[in-house]
Each structure stands twice: as structure tokens, then as C-alpha cells.
Amino acid sequence: MLLPIAQPVPLADMAPGIRFKPIGVAGAGFPSPAQDWEEDAINLAELLRLNRAGSFVFRIDGYSMIDAGISDRDVVVVDRDVTPRNGHIVIAIVAGGFVCRQLVYRGGVPYLEARNSRQNYATHLADESTEIWGVVRAGVRDYQR
């Protein structure tokens, strides 16, 4: 028996985003020459473009996409109004549930592939029984967990 899948909630109707004041620019290599640069505020909803009708948020469960930089408990922003192309990370409905995989075409045939070199995951043929639900555009990670 297939369980009903939870339906993601659109973010277009969310309350106006909280604005954060950046403290400064932090270089990730050498000290940044842009340290005097200042931005008034950052609106996370605008930065992640969450105010679009076609944008949704999913929490990832598992490690099948770790080599693509997506880990367990990460949050991904998914666009439903983007046409999936070869190489895109997508959210798909497979066997009645949502999965995060990379869309790969081989010989014109679409497959959904995991990205974890430490574990073996089955490659799934993206045929008519599979729905490519949306394309992953951005991710958010809590580095303290």
C-alpha cells in the first residue's frame, strides 16, 4: 500500500522576510579588499528567491547526494517552473515518494542517479512512472549540527 505523499507548501504567500544586517565581508582565502564594502541588509527570502509562486522548500533525508554537496538534514530550494535538463539536481516522485537525485541523460534516455561514492544506490530510469517534480536551485546547511 502506498502512503500519500505530503504536499509541499508554496512560499509565495509567506510573510515579508526578516532582514539581516551583514557585519562585514569575510574572505575565504586571503584578506578581502572589499572589507570596506557595506550592504544595508540581506533579505533571505529575496536572496533565495523564495517569493516566487514556483518555489518550494524541502528538507533532505539521507546521504544519497553527499558528493553533490547535499547532506542529510540540508534544506533545498526547488523551482517547479524550471525545465529540468541533463545534470540538474532534481526532486522527483519515485514509487510514491519524493527523492533528490541528479538527472542524467545517456543515449537520450533519462536516469535519476544518486551522488554518493561510498554507497551503492540503484539508478532509476526516469520513465512515465516517474515525475520530475522540480529543479533544486539552492541549499541551506546548519554547520553546527
Query: 86-98 pLDDT, tens per residue?
Result: 999 999 999 889 9
Residue 22, domain member (yes or no): yes
CB distance 112 to 101 below 8 Å? yes
Average pLDDT over residues 105-127: 93
Q: Are residues 79 and 126 in the same domain?
A: yes
CA of 122: how far to CAs of 24, 29, 110, 127, 140, in Å? 45, 38, 14, 15, 26
Number of domains in the chain: 2
Q: What share of the chain is helix, strand, coil (3-state, %, to 5)?
A: 5, 30, 65
Chain-centroid distance of CA 74 in Å reads 8
Q: Are residues 66 and 109 in the same domain?
A: yes
Residue 3, domain member (yes or no): no
Q: Are residues 29 and 86 in the same domain?
A: no
Q: Are residues 45 and 61 in the same domain?
A: no
Q: Are residues 27 and 66 in the same domain?
A: no
Q: Are residues 61 and 130 in the same domain?
A: yes
Residue 1, domain member (yes or no): no
Q: Are residues 94 and 142 in the same domain?
A: yes
Q: In which residue are the cell numbers 572589499 written?
A: 34
The residue range of the domain holding 134 is: 54-145
Residue 2, domain member (yes or no): no
Q: Are residues 80 and 137 in the same domain?
A: yes
Q: Quick one: pLDDT at residue 46?
A: 74
Question: What pTM was computed for the model?
Answer: 0.73
Dump pLDDT digits (tens) for 30-68: 665 555 555 566 667 777 777 777 888 899 999 999 999
